[in-house]
């Protein structure tokens, strides 16, 4: 079960799809997933659907608490293999969300973390509710900033104009841009 879930890290959780692949029913998959959650192997990131009239995804996404275990389950043994692996972006997204979660707990705060996706596949990887503030965070593994990285944030700004926009990417820079604040992975603390 955890091998099937590893291949779906960072994706919307669909118990029926996993059940079909494994040849079991979806209730069995839900039971197994509950055990993995209770064991702190994986967690589900809920969707954010407050205050929006558009059709949006209401199923959670699944992530692992340990990206080392995630890489092991995906058959990745070296750093070089990650760079070429199909799941590189999902692993990086998992890592960033996990680090943000840890930062909240280390500050004695319960994280209010979500993702957002509408029926047209517009998406923001991570939303953080901080009191009345909403932070929208797009996560990209690439080391070079690309204009396409801002697509989801730009769309989200239209429906949530007060949201603070951030792009976390695999590079090293910290930049204030008109589209969003750009944070290399070493600047995650700047999200707070």
| List of residues 6+ apart from 124 with CB closer than 8 A | 115, 116, 117, 136, 137, 138, 152, 153, 156
Burial of residue 17 (number of CB atoms within 10 Å: 0-12, 13-18, 19+): middle
Tell me, what's the pLDDT at 1? 56
What pLDDT is stored for residue 19 in this prediction?
A: 86
Would you kindly state where each structural domain of the chain is located, as residue ranges? Answer: 2-191
Q: 143 forms bridges with which residues in the sheet?
A: none
CA neighbor of 13 nearest in space, from 57, 61, 49: 61
Helices (H), 63-150: 67-73, 79-84, 88-106
Predicted pLDDT at 43: 96
pLDDT tens digit at each of 192 positions of the chain: 556 678 889 999 988 888 888 889 989 999 999 999 999 999 999 999 776 666 778 899 999 999 999 999 999 999 999 999 999 999 999 999 999 999 999 999 999 999 999 988 899 999 999 889 999 999 999 999 999 999 999 999 999 999 999 999 999 999 999 999 999 999 998 887
CA 33 centroid distance within chain: 18
Closest residue by Cα to residue 93 from 59, 45, 140, 61: 140
Interatomic CA distance for residues 68 and 24, integer angstroms:
28
Tell me if 62 sits within 8 A of 122, measured CB to CB: no
Residue of 124, 113, 3 whose CA lies nearest to 64: 3
pLDDT computed for residue 21 by the predictor: 84
Measured between alpha carbons, how far is residue 16 from residues 34, 134, 150 in Å?
Answer: 15, 32, 32
Which backbone phi and psi does 54 adopt, to 5 degrees?
-70, 160
């Amino acid at each position: 079960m955890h091998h099937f879930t590893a291949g779906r890290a960072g994706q919307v959780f669909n118990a029926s799809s996993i059940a079909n692949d494994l040849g079991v029913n979806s209730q069995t998959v839900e039971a197994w997933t509950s055990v993995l959650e209770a064991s702190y192997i994986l967690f589900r990131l809920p969707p954010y659907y407050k205050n929006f009239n558009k059709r949006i995804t209401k199923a959670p996404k699944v992530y692992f608490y340990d990206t080392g275990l995630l890489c092991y389950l995906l058959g990745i043994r070296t750093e070089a293999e990650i760079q070429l692996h199909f799941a590189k972006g999902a692993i990086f997204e998992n890592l960033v969300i996990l680090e943000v979660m840890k930062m909240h707990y280390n500050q004695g705060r319960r994280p209010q973390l979500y993702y957002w996706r509408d029926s047209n596949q517009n998406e923001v990887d991570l939303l953080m509710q901080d009191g009345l503030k909403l932070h929208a965070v797009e996560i990209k593994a690439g080391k070079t900033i690309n204009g396409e990285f801002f697509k989801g944030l730009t769309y989200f700004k239209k429906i949530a104009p007060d949201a603070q926009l951030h792009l976390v990417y695999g590079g090293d820079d910290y930049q204030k841009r008109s589209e969003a604040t750009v944070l290399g992975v070493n600047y995650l603390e700047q999200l707070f």
